[in-house]
Chains A and B, each alone.
Chain A
C-alpha cells in the first residue's frame, strides 16, 4: 500500500500512450442522420433521482485502512494541475517536483498520475518530469472555450503533442452541441484525436455549460463514439465544475458504452474537488458504479490542484493521530 510508484499507472514504454484501441465507432465521417440515430438510443436521466443516488453514496463511512487506501489512490489518480495566465517556468518546475514527490519528508507517498499544464509550458514540464513515470497532460484545442477555427485547435493540439505531452485534454464546442450541431462536435473530436498521434485523448464536456444531465449523457455518448480515451467533466474555468451526480451520469454512460461496443473508456472529474473527504466520495461512486476495475489511474483521474495538500494532511493524520499545521505541507 505504501509503495511509491504503483505499476498500474500507464506504462509509457510497454504500451503506447493510448491505453486502448479506441476508435470512432461510427467511422471517420458521420452524417447527421446516422449520428442522430445513434444518440436517440441514449436514455434520459432523471435529475432528482440521480442527485439522490449520488447523495446516498456520500453517506458511506470510509475508515482506517480503507481510508488510507483511498487517499493514496487519490494521489496516484491525480492530474496535478496549473492553468493560470500567470504560469511561469519557475512555477511549472516547482509543481513538477511536487508531482514527483508530493511530500518531501515522506518517500512512501506515491507520485501523482500526471502534470496538467497549458501547451506553452509543455517543454518546461517535459524537462522537469524527464526520467519519471509521470504523464504530461496539456490542455489543448483552444482551451477553455474551444471557440476558434478547427485548424487553430488542431495546430494547438499538434504543437503540444510534439512538444512532449502524452495526454491531451481537449474541449468540445459547447455552442455547437447546444445548437444541435452534433456532427461538428463529432468531427472536431475526430480531427483533434488525429492530431494527438500517440497521445491519449481526454474530451472535456464542460458539464457546467451543458446544464442538464440529459445533455451530459448525450455528450458523453457522442465523445466516446468519436474516439475519446477518457471523458472529462470540466475545464475548471466554469462554475459549477465537476459534481458527483454529473460524474455518476457520465460513468453510467461509460458503462453502457462498454456494454454496447466493448470499449472501456476512462473518466476524469476535474474542478472543485478540494478536500480528501470529497475525493473519497468520488472513489465510492466510481467503485460502486463501475466496479474494482475502475479503481486505477488508467481508468479514473482527478483534475485538481489544492486537493493534494489536503490528502497529504489526512494521510499524516491517519499515521500520527494528529493534524499538522498546514505550513508543513509545501505550497508550490
Chain B
C-alpha cells in the first residue's frame, strides 16, 4: 500500500494486508499525532488495509512545521 506522509510530503510503501495500527507501529508513529485518511473517510486503528490502498497520515500537531510524532 502507499502511505502518504506530510511535512515534508513523501510517500512510503508498506506491504499489506495490515491493520492501520500495525502500519503506524511499523513507521513508529504515535497514533494520537495523526489522522488516518483514505479518500474522504477517516479510519480507526483496527481497519485492515490491503496492497491497493492509499492512506494519508496527516499530522495534527499545530504550532510548528512538524510531521507526525515519532516514538523514541
A, B from the same assembly: no
